[in-house]
Structure 1
Amino acid sequence: MAEAVLKLVVEKLADVVTKEVSLHFGFNARIESLQYKLGWIQVFLKDAESKRFSDERVRKWVDDVREVAFRIEDVIDKLIAEVGYHPDNVNSFKPAKLRFAHKIGNEMNSIETRIREIKECREIYGLNELGESSTLPVRSPIKEFILPDLDDPDIVGLQADTENIVNLLLDPATERRCVISIVGQGGLGKTTLARKAYNRDEVKRGFEFRIWLSISQQYRLSDLLKMILEKIRPLKEDEKDRLLKEDPLSRQQAEEYLIGELNSSLVKKKYLIIMDDVWRNNLWIQVRGALPDVENGSRVLITTRFFDVAKGADPTCDPYNLHFLSEEDSQEILLRKAFPNMHPNARCHDLSDLPKRFALKCGGLPLALVVVGGLLSRHPPTYNSWHKVFEKFSWLRDDEKCMTILGTSYEDMPAVLKQCFMYFASFPEDYTIKAKSLIRLWIAEGFIPEVDNTVMEETAETYLEDLIQRSMIQVSTRFMSGSVKYCHIHDIIRDLAIQKAKECTFLKIISDQGGNYGSCTIRRAALHCNNLNIMECTGPNLRSLLYFGDLPDIHKFKLLKVLSEMTGNEITRPIEGDTFKKLCQLRYLGICSCYNFFGADSELWKGISHLRNLQTLDVSNVHRFTCDHMPMPDCIWDIRTLRHAILPDHSSGPPPTAILPKLQTLKTVRVRAQWLTDGWPKMPNIRVLRLSFFPPKYGESFATFLSGLYHLASLHINMHYKGSSTYDMLDMSSFPSYNHMQSLRVNGNWSWNKELDISLFPIHLTKLTLSFSNIQEDPMQVLEKLGSLRILKFDSSYLGRLFTCSASGFPFLEYLELYCLEMLEEWTVETGGMHMLKKITISCCYKLRVIPELQHMTNLKELSLVHIQAHLHDMLQGEEAYKIKQIPSIKIM
C-alpha cells in the first residue's frame, strides 16, 4: 500500500513542477530534488511491501516511507490550494504569501531530514537487499479478464441442500407459518443456498409475494418493515412524510403503523420472507407481529451464524445445519474458478496433487475455495507456479483459516488493485454499490493510471473485473453489454478490507461505535452516522469523505478531493451558500438527496463553478421541482475538467461557447435556443447524452451535431410537444451508422417523415426504447432486422393494431416490453422468431386479444401480463394455457 501512495506522490510532484505551481513560491528546485529521492525509494519499496509481514524491520521501514509520503502530499496540496484560493497573490510579495512560503520551507526542511534518516535506516538495519530480487510469482496482466462462468461454482456441492430447503418451503403438510433457519459459519454458503432456493421456479410459483431482506448487524426495525411494505405496494405520500421523522417517539409510532399495515396487507396472502445474515436473537420477536399466520403455507427463511438465533425464531423447527463440502466438491469448485469457462477435460493436468492439497487446506469452506481458485486463475497453470503460491500460505486452524486465505489473496494483488479493493471498506454491510459511481470515485481518488489510447473509465472497469475474477467482489447485476451495473462485497471479505485499510492508514470508518479520534494521517473517511462535526474524528488533512447521513460541516477541509453522499434521503436542512466555494481541489461532488431549496439562483451553483478541478458532478436529485425548466449559471460550464455531469432534469445545457474536451456523460439538460443560431457546445468525447425539451426545428442542426460525436454510445432524447400535435421532429436517416452507439431512446409525440426503414437506425444498437411514438405501421417487420438488439421497449405509443415477427426476426432479443399501446390488438410470431427471448412484460394494452405461441420460445423464463383485457386473461387460464404453461415465472393481473 505504501508503494501505491508513494507512486501517487511522485506523479503529483511531477505534475506540480510541470504546472510551475512551485515557481510562485521559489520551491521548484527543492521539489525536483524530492521527486528524485522518492524515485529511488520506489525501487526498494515494491519488494519491501511483499516482506513487511514477515520482517518487523521491513514493516517499520515501509510505515516510515508511507508517513513521509503523506507529509509531502500535504505540502504539495497546500501549495496547489494556496494558488487556487489566492490566484492574484501568487506573483506578489505580500506578507501573507511570505509567511506561507516560510512555513512551507520549514516543512520541506523537516521532510528532507526525514528522507535522509529513512535512507540511513535501510543501510543500518541491513535492508540493502530490498529491490535486488523478488520472489513474487508472475501475474497475468490485469486487463486480461474473463467473464465469470454462468454455471456458478458457488453452487457445487449444494444440490442436495437446495432440494431439502425447497421441500421445507413447499411442504404441503405444514400449513402454519413456520420459520426455517439455515445455520453455519461465515463463508459456508448460507446466502448462496438461500438464494438458490429463492430463485427456484417452483418456489416462484408457490408464493404470491417473495421478499428478500439483507439484515446488517446494525439495523433499524422501521427500515426493515418499510422495505417489506414497499415490496408489497407503493408508499403513499403521507406515509413517506410520516416515516421520515427521526425522533424516537415518531420511530415507535412508525413501527406500530408499519406492523399494522403489513398485517392487513398480508393476511390473505401466501408469502415467503428471506432474512439473510441475522445476528440478533430478538429480531424475530420484533417482526413476527407484522407477519400474520393464517395457516396458508407462508414461510420465513433465516440464515444465521448462531444456533440460538435459529432456535429462538421457531423452537418447533430444527435448524438446518450447513456442513463443510466434501473433498471432491471442494476440488471441483477450486478448479472451476482456476479455469473459468473451460471444459473439465481441457484443464491443465500437469499439476500433480496440488489441486487436492489446496482443496484440503481450505477445509471444505466454499468462500475460501472460491477465493483461492480466483487467485490461481491469475497464475500460470504449471506445477512450479502453483507450488510457490501453496508455500506462501500460512494455513491456520479453522476459526482463522478463511481470513488468512483471503489475506494471502489480497497480498497477491498489484498495489493499485489493493487500493481499489480497500475502498470497498467505505460501504456499509450489505450495501449495493453502483459500479459507474464506484469507477468515477476511483478515478477522482487518483487510483486509475492514464494509459495511452484508453480512457480511465475503461481501465477502471478492467480493475473491477479483475477483483470479480479473484472472487473478492461479487456481481449483483450486469448490463446486457456484460459490464457490471451493481456489485457488492461478502461481509467476511469486507472485514478483510476494513482490516487492511486500518493497517495501511488508508481509511477511517466513523460510526456510533466509538473510537473516533482524529489524526493528521487520515486521508479518507466513511461517515456511517450523523456526525455533523467530524474534524475531531479525522484531523484537517482529509482528502475524501463518503457520508451515509446528513452533510457534515466541511468548511475546514480545504484539501478535500472527493465528497459524496450515498443515501438519497429527503433533506430539509439548508446547505450554506459558500459550502463548496473554497474546495478548489474537489474532483468528485455527489449529492443524491433532495434539497428543495437548491434552486436555480442558489449561491451553491456559483460555489460549484469555482471547482476548476472537478471531474464528476452528480447532483441529479437535488431539486424536486414542478417547473419545466431549471436555469443554471453558465459559469458551471467553464469547468473544463468535467468528465461526467449528471444534473436535475431539464437543467440548462452548456452554452454554444462551452468547450468541454473531457466530458463523457451529460444528462439531463434542456436544449438551448442559442444552439440553433450559434452552434452546439464542443463535446468531442461525449459517450452518454440525454437531452430534454427538443423542439422540432432543431432536427437538421442536431443531425449535424451528431455526425461529429464519434464516441457516442447512448442517446436519450425527450421530444417537446404540445397537446396532441404531431411533428416530423427528426429525420432518422440523418443518424450516421455509429460503431459505438448501443442504446437509443426517443421520447415524444413524433412521427416519421418517410417510410420506416432499417437504414434509419444505428446498426449496432443493443437497446431501443420508443415512447409516445406515432408510427402508422407495424414497426416489428423493420426492427426485427436489427441483428444486435437485445432490449426493445414500446411505451405509451400510438402504433398499428398488428405486430408480426418472422421466423428469423430478432435473433438476439432477450427482453421485450409493451406498455400502454392503445391500438395493439394482435401480436404474432412465426415459429423460430425471437428464439432468445427471456422476459416479456405487457402492461396496459387493453385491446390486445391475441399473443404468440410462446411455447416455442424455449429460453423464455418470465412473463408478466398486467392490466390486460378479461378475454385474454380467460383464454390464457383456459384453452390457450398451453402457450404459457412451460414458463417458470408467470404474473397475470
Structure 2
Amino acid sequence: MCGTSSHDLFPEKDSNTATGKSLTRNWTMKAALEQHQLVGREGAMSEVIKLIREEGDRLHVISVWGMGGMGKTTLVRSVYGSEELSGMFQKRAWVTILHPFNREQFFRSLAMQLHSDDTGKDVSLMGDGTEKRLQVMEIADLIKETFRLLDRLTYLIVLDDLSSNTEWDSIIPHFPKDEMTSRIIITTREASVASRCSKKYKLRSLGDDAALDLFKKKVFSGTEMVDLTGTMRDQAELILKKCDGLPLAIATIGGFLATKPKTSLEWRKLNDHISVELENNPELEMIKTVLMSSYDGLPYHLKSCLLYFSIFPEDKNVRHGRLIRRWIAEGYSKEMRTKTAEEVAEEYFTDIINRSMVQQLKTRAPYTGKITDSCQVHDLMREICISKSDEENLVFVLDEHCTLQPTDKIRHLVVRGSWSRDQKKKVLGSVLDVSHIRSLTVFGEWKSFFISKKMRLLRVLDLEDTENLRDHDLAPIGKLHHLKYLSLRGCLYIYHLPDSFGNLSELETLDIRSTFVVTLPASITKLSKLKYFRAGLVPTDDVLPSSYVREIDQPLKEFGLAAYKSYVQKKSIHDLDAVPYLFFQARIWLRGWDEHGMKVPRGIGRMKALHTLGVVNIARARAMPKELKKLTWLRKLGVTGINKKNCKELCSAIVNHGRLLSLSMRAEGEPGLEGCLDDLSPPPDSLQSLKLYGYLVKLPTWIEQLQMLTKLTLRSTQLEYHAILVLAKLPNLAILRLCDGSFRWAELNFHFCPESFKSLTALELEFLPGLNSVEFEQNAMPNLELIRVLHCFYGGADGFSGIQFLSGLKEVSLKGHKGDFNEKFKKDLREQLSKNSNKPNLKMEDMAKWLSAAPAPALILNSKFETNN
C-alpha cells in the first residue's frame, strides 16, 4: 500500500496513482522539481540507472541500502521517473512496505497498481467492480492475479523500506521469472537484506562540498546563493559535522534555519543546544522520528549494545576489540550452545553495522600507519543514544556539563572534562551513589579518588590513555573482586603491576600495551579466567623502521648509559618527544629486557582459559614453550625472543594448537628466524593471520599449506624475490603487508602476473627504500581495492604501471617525504588512475607534516618522563 514514508525527505507518491505514459510523465516532472534535493547524488543516480540498464535476459534485483535519512527513497524515486528509463518497461508499480509486514495487504496494493497501469485509469474510477473484487480477494487469488498481470511482460517494481529476509522470501517467489528484462528495486536499512536480495548499492553520506551546497540551498531558499565566510562558515561546518553527510538532517536543519536570522550567533545557538532542539523543537522532529524508528526496530539485546556508545566522547573512534570485550564483560554477550561469548558479540557488532546505525572505519595508527578496525556512531544517532541513556539512568558523564543531582543506581560512570579536583571529589563522594556502577571509564587526567571501595560491583575499569596514572594508584584495583575487564593501555607512567592483581579472580581481559611494564608478578598466574592478555611497550606490529632503531640504539651499545644520556640530550630527536622512549631503551638494554615482549612468570600454563596471549618473550624463560603447549584454547599468540635454542620446542608446542587463528613470531638480528621455523610442520590448519619479523632468507615450505591464511605481514625477513611467487598462490590471502627489510635486494621491482593474488584486497608497502617499480599485468590481483605506500619510492623510482588494469581498485594512498614523489611519478599515476574504470581515489600526504602532527613514534609518549620511576 502506498503511503507516506517516514524515513526520507519527501512524501511518497499518491495512492491514486497515475497510469501508463501519464505516470512516467508525472513522476518525471516531480523528480525535476526535487532535483535540488539530489545535490551530490548525481553519481549515485547514474550508478543505479546503470545497474538497471545492464544487459541481461532475466529478472534483476537492485538493492539500495543505507541508514535512515540517507535519501534512499528520494534517490530511487528520481530513478523511477527518469527519462532514461522511459519506455523500457511495460508495467510499473511502487509499494512501500508497511511494518509490521502484511503479506495480503502487500499483494492487494500491488495488484491494484498494476490494474491501474494496465487500463490507464485509477482502479477506483474504473466502474467495473475491479476495486471491489480486489478488496475481497483471498491471498492466494491476489498472488495469482499479480502473477497474471506481470506474466510475459517487462516490469519495474519498487519495494520501499524492506526490513527483513523473511519479508523478501514471502514476496519474491511469486514474481514471474521468464526470460524478460524486468527489474525490482528495493530500499532497505539492512545490509543483510540487500545482500540476500541482489546486487547491492550502498548509498553513502554526502561529501563535504555536496553537504554544504544542500545546506545553503535550504537555508537561502528563494534568495541568491551566497558564499559563507568567517564565523558563518565555521558555524555551518560545525552543523554539517553533526549531520555527517545525512541529507535528511542537513535539509531539515537548513529549512529550520531558513526561518531564522542568518547570523553566526543564531547558528551558534543551534550548535550549542542541538540535543535540546532535537528533543523539543517540532521543526526538527522528523530527524528524531527517523532515527528513533531505527532504534525502536532493534531487538532488546542490540539496544543495550547501541546505547553503550554513549559512554565514549563525541568523535571518538572506538576500537573494535575494545568494544567487543567490554560488551562481554558487561554480560551483553554470553556463551550460547556451540558459540563463545566473543563469537556472539561479533554477531551483535555485525548486526548493528549491517543496520547502518554504526559506521565501521579503518583507522591508521600514529607513525606506522597500521590499519586497524574501529567504529563510530553517527553524531545524531549518538544524541539519540544519550537521550535514551538519560531516560534509563544508564550512563552518567561527570564533566563540566553535568548537573549536580542525586542519581539512583547508575550503571556506567564516565569521568572526563576540566572540572576541578574539589568539584569532582564532591560529586563522587556525596552526590552520586556509586555502589551500583558496573563500569568506570576515565578520559583525561587521573585522580586517586576516582576509585572508591563502594564500587563493589564494578566489572569494567577502562583507563586507556589516562594521564598521570602511577604505579601506586593501582593498589586499590586488586580489591575489585568482580572486575572482568581492565585496560591500562597507553598509561605511560605504569612500570609495575602489584601482586594484588592476583586477587582479580574474575578478570577476563587485561590490556597493558604501551605501558612500561615488561615483567609480570608471579601472582598473575592465579587468574584462571583470564582470556585476553596483551602487553609490550612497542607492539610487534607497530615496529619503527630499522634505520630509526639503529640511530637510537647504537650509541647506547657503544658508549654506555652515561654517554647515552648526553647523546639523547643533544640529539635533534629530542624534538620528537621521544626522550621517555630513549631512556627506557637504556633500561631494557642494561637489564636484558625486550620492549616488544613481556617476561612472564613460570606457571602461565595453568591459565587454561587464555585465548589471546601476546607479546611474550621466550628467550629468558626456558620453560615457556612447555607452558605454551598447555594453553590449548589459544587463538591468538604473539612470541618474540625466538632463537636456535628454543625454536624447536616452540614449534612443537604451536603445531598442536588446532584453534590458533593468529600467530606473530619475532627474532632480533642474525641469524634471526633463519632455520627456526622449519619444524612448524604441519602448521595449524586454521591459521588466518601470520606475522614474521626477523632474518629468514627463505620461506618455510609449510607456508604453501596455509589455505585459510587471509593476512600476512613480513618485516626484516630479507627474502629472495621468488618468495613472492609462492605467496601469489595462497588462495585466500586478502591483506599483504611488505615492510622494512622484507626482501633483501637493494633495488626492488615487483611484477605481478595474471591470476596472481586472486583474493588480495589490500597491498601495503612500508619503509622499502629500495622500491623502484610495481607492475600489474592485466588480470593480476582482480579483487585489489587498496594500495597503501608508506615512505617508499624515492626520487628516481619508476613507480607504478598497470594500475588501469585493477578493476576493483578503490584507493591509492601515498605517504612520503617531500620530493619522494616527483612530478613525473605523480603525473603517470594520475593518468593510470584516470584510465581505471573504477575511478579510484588518490590520497597523498607529506610525511613531515604527518609526523609533526603525530605523537611520538609508535607510542603516545610525552616529554614528562621521570627517570626515578
TM tier, shorter chain? 0.5 to 0.7
Q: Is 2:480 the counterpart of 1:588?
A: no
Distance 1:524 1:178 in 2: 37
Instruction: Report whether the alignment pairs 1:564 with 2:617.
Output: no
- TM superposition shift of 1:179: 7.0
- Determine the structure 2 residue equivalent to 1:152: 202
**Map of 2:413 onto structure 1:** 525
How much has 1:806 moved relative to structure 2? Answer: 1.7
2:586 is aligned with 1:633: no
Quote the residue 1:744 is aligned against.
690
| Pick aligned residue for 2:635 from 687, 690, 701 | 687
| SS of the residue 2:536 aligns to | strand
Query: Could you list the runs of 5+ residues in structure 2 that have no partner in the other structure?
Result: 1-162, 168-189, 218-225, 271-277, 365-370, 538-596, 847-869
How far apart, in 2, do the equivalents of 1:677 and 1:888 lie? 47
Q: Which residue of 1 aligns with 2:84?
A: none
In 1, Cα distance between the equivalents of 2:823 and 2:286?
A: 58
Aligned residue in 1 for 2:844: 891
CA distance in structure 1 between the aligned counterparts of 2:445 and 2:460, rounded to whole angstroms: 12
Q: Check the 8 A contact 1:523/1:542 in 2, yes or no.
A: yes
- Cα distance change, pair 406–832 in 1 and its aligned pair in 2 (3 A): closer
Matched residues in 2 for 1:662 and 1:799: separation?
41
Match of 2:444 in 1: 549
Q: Distance in 2 between matches of 1:514 and 1:879?
A: 55
Displacement of 1:652: 1.7
CA shift, 1:476, in A, is: 3.1
Aligned-residue offset at 1:154? 5.2
Farther-moved stretch of structure 1 (441-450 vs 822-831): 822-831
How many angstroms does 1:525 deviate by?
Answer: 1.6
Letter in 1 for 2:444: G
Matches within 5 A, 1:232-631: 312=263, 398-404=283-289, 406-407=291-292, 409-477=294-362, 485-519=373-407, 521-529=409-417, 531-532=424-425, 534-539=428-433, 540-552=435-447, 553=449, 554-565=451-462, 568-571=465-468, 575-576=472-473, 578-596=475-493, 598-600=494-496, 604-623=497-516, 630-631=518-519
- Residue 856 of structure 1 corresponds to 805
**Cα shift readout 1:233-254 (whole Å, capped 9, x = no counterpart):** xxxxxxxxxxxxxxxxxxxxxx
Contact 1:561-1:588 at 8 Å conserved across structures: no
**Paired AA for residue 833 in structure 1:** A
- Distance in 2, matches of 1:507 and 1:861, equals 39
User: How big is the shift at 1:762?
Assistant: 1.8
Alpha-carbon distance in structure 1 between the residues aligned to 2:629 and 2:324: 26
**For residues 728 and 183 of structure 1, do their structure 2 counterparts lie closer, same or farther at Cα, with a shift above 3 Å needed?**
closer
Separation of aligned partners in 2, 1:188 and 1:829: 39
Shift in alpha-carbon separation, 1:856–1:310, aligned structure 2, 3 A: farther
Q: Which amino acid aligns with 2:811?
A: E
Do the aligned partners of residues 677 and 824 (structure 1) sit closer, same or farther apart at CA in structure 2, a change above 3 Å counting? closer
Please point out which of 750, 756, 775 is paired with 2:719. Answer: 775
| Change in 2 beyond 3 A, CA 1:688/1:307 | farther
Cα deviation 1:814-841 (Å, max 9, x = unaligned): 2222233355545433322123223323
The answer on whether the counterparts of 2:602 and 2:624 sit within 8 Å (CA) in structure 1 is: no
Identity %: 23
Paired residue type of 1:799 = R
Q: Is this contact kept in 2: 1:522–1:542, CA < 8 A? A: yes
- Give distance in 2, aligned partners of 1:488 and 1:870: 35
Residue 783 of structure 1 and its aligned partner are, at CA, apart by 0.9
Secondary structure in 2 aligned to 1:500? helix
Query: Tell me, what secondary structure is at the counterpart of 1:594?
Result: coil
Give, in angstroms, the shift of residue 579 of structure 1: 1.7
1:727 deviates by 5.1
Partner AA of 2:344 in structure 1: T
In structure 2, C-alpha distance between the alignment counterparts of 1:642 and 1:670, rounded to whole Å = 19
Confirm or deny: 8 A CA contact 1:732 1:761 kept in the other structure.
no
Distance 2:506 2:660 in 1: 24
Per the TM alignment, residue 592 of structure 1 is displaced from its structure 2 partner at its CA by 2.9
* Secondary structure of 1:429 counterpart: coil
Q: Could you say if the C-alpha distance between residues 622 and 834 of structure 1 is closer, same or farther in structure 2, counting changes exceeding 3 Å?
A: same
Distance in 2 separating the partners of 1:419 and 1:175:
41
Q: Distance in 1 between matches of 2:201 and 2:242?
A: 16
Using structure 2 for the length normalisation, give the TM-score. 0.55
Sort the Cα spacing of 1:644 and 1:811 in 2 relative to 1 into closer, same or farther, 3 A: same
Give 1:59's aligned residue.
none
Name the counterpart of 1:355. Answer: none
8 Å CA contact retained: 1:617, 1:645: yes
Is the Cα–Cα contact under 8 Å of residues 798 and 825 in structure 2 kept in the other structure? no
Q: For the structure 1 residues 497 and 787, does the alpha-carbon distance in structure 2 shift closer, same or farther, using more than 3 Å as the test?
A: same
CA contact (8 A) 2:655 2:683 kept: no
Residues 820 and 433 of structure 1, relative CA distance in 2, 3 Å threshold: closer
CA contact (8 A) 2:625 2:650 kept: no
Distance 1:305 1:751, change over 3 A: farther
Distance in structure 2 (CA, Å) of the matches to 1:412 and 1:788? 36
Q: Give the number of aligned pairs.
A: 556
Residues 467-521 of structure 1, C-alpha deviation per residue, up to 9 Å, x if partnerless?
Answer: 3344443333499xxx993222233332332333333333323222242344552
Q: Indicate which of 783, 791, 794 corresponds to 2:735.
A: 791
Letter in 1 for 2:192: I
Q: Offset of 1:807 from its aligned partner?
A: 0.7
Q: Is the 8 A contact 1:663 1:686 kept in 2?
A: yes
Kindly state the Cα deviation for residue 770 of structure 1 after the two structures are TM-superposed.
0.5
In structure 1, distance between residues paired with 2:293 and 2:757: 47
Give how far 1:644 is off.
Answer: 0.9
Asked whether the equivalents of residues 181 and 304 of structure 1 are also in contact (C-alpha less than 8 Å), the reply is no
* Distance across 2 between alignment mates of 1:493 and 1:865: 33
Q: Separation in 2 of the partners of 1:580 and 1:825? A: 53
Q: CA deviation at 1:616?
A: 0.9
Cα distance in 1 for residues equivalent to 2:844 and 2:240:
35
Aligned to 1:809: 756
CA distance in structure 2 between the aligned counterparts of 1:502 and 1:880, rounded to whole angstroms: 52
Which segment drifts farther, 838-847 or 508-517? 838-847
Q: Could you tell me how far apart the structure 1 residues matched to 2:283 and 2:804 are?
A: 50
Per the alignment, do residues 164 and 518 of structure 1 end up closer, same or farther by CA in structure 2, a change over 3 Å counting?
A: closer
Equivalent residue in structure 2 for 1:715, among 663, 680, 683: 663
1:364-398: CA deviations, max 9, x gaps? xxxx9xxxxxxxxxxxxxxxxxxxxxxxxxx9955
Structure 2 residue identity aligned to 1:655: R
**Does the 8 Å contact 1:695/1:729 carry over to 2?**
no
Partners of 2:231 and 2:264 within 8 A in 1: no
Alpha-carbon distance, 1:642 to partner: 0.6
CA change 1:878–1:543 in 2 (3 A) is closer
> 1:403 & 1:880 partners in 2: Cα distance?
45
> Is residue 185–residue 305 contact of structure 1 (8 Å, CA) maintained in 2?
no
Contact 1:558/1:583, CA 8 A, preserved across alignment? yes
* Alpha-carbon spacing, 1:648–1:516, altered in 2? closer, same or farther (3 Å): farther
Aligned AA (2:456): L
**How far has the Cα of 1:785 moved from its partner?**
0.5
